[in-house]
Amino acid sequence: MIATNQYEDVLQIKMSRYPDFRRGTCVSAYLVDCLLVDTGPAHTARELTEFLIDKNVKVAVNTHFHEDHISANKFLQDAYKVEIYAHPLAIDKISQPAELYPYQEEVWGYPVPSRVKPLDDYIETRNHHFDVIHTPGHDRDHICLFEPSKGWLFTGDLFVTTRPVVCRPNDDLWQTLEDFKKLRALNPHILFPAPVNVVSEPVDRLDKVIAYLQELGNKVDELYNKGMNAEQIRQEIFGDESLLAEFTQQQFSSANMVKSFMRKYEKPNAPNK
Residue ranges of domains in the chain, CATH in brackets: 2-162+181-202 (3.60.15.10)
Backbone conformation region of residue 250, classed left if phi is above 0, alpha if psi is from -120 to 50, else beta: left
CA dist 251 to 20, 40, 64, Å?
Answer: 24, 20, 17
**pLDDT tens, residue by residue, 38-65:** 999 999 999 999 999 999 999 999 999 9
Position 269 scores a pLDDT of 56
CA distance 236 to 124: 48
CA 177 to chain CA mean position, Å: 15
The pTM score is 0.94
pLDDT range class, residue 266, cuts 50, 70, 90: confident
CA distance 84 to 82: 6
- pLDDT for 3 beyond 50: yes
Position 53 scores a pLDDT of 97
CA distance 255 to 242: 11
CA 198 to chain CA mean position, Å: 14
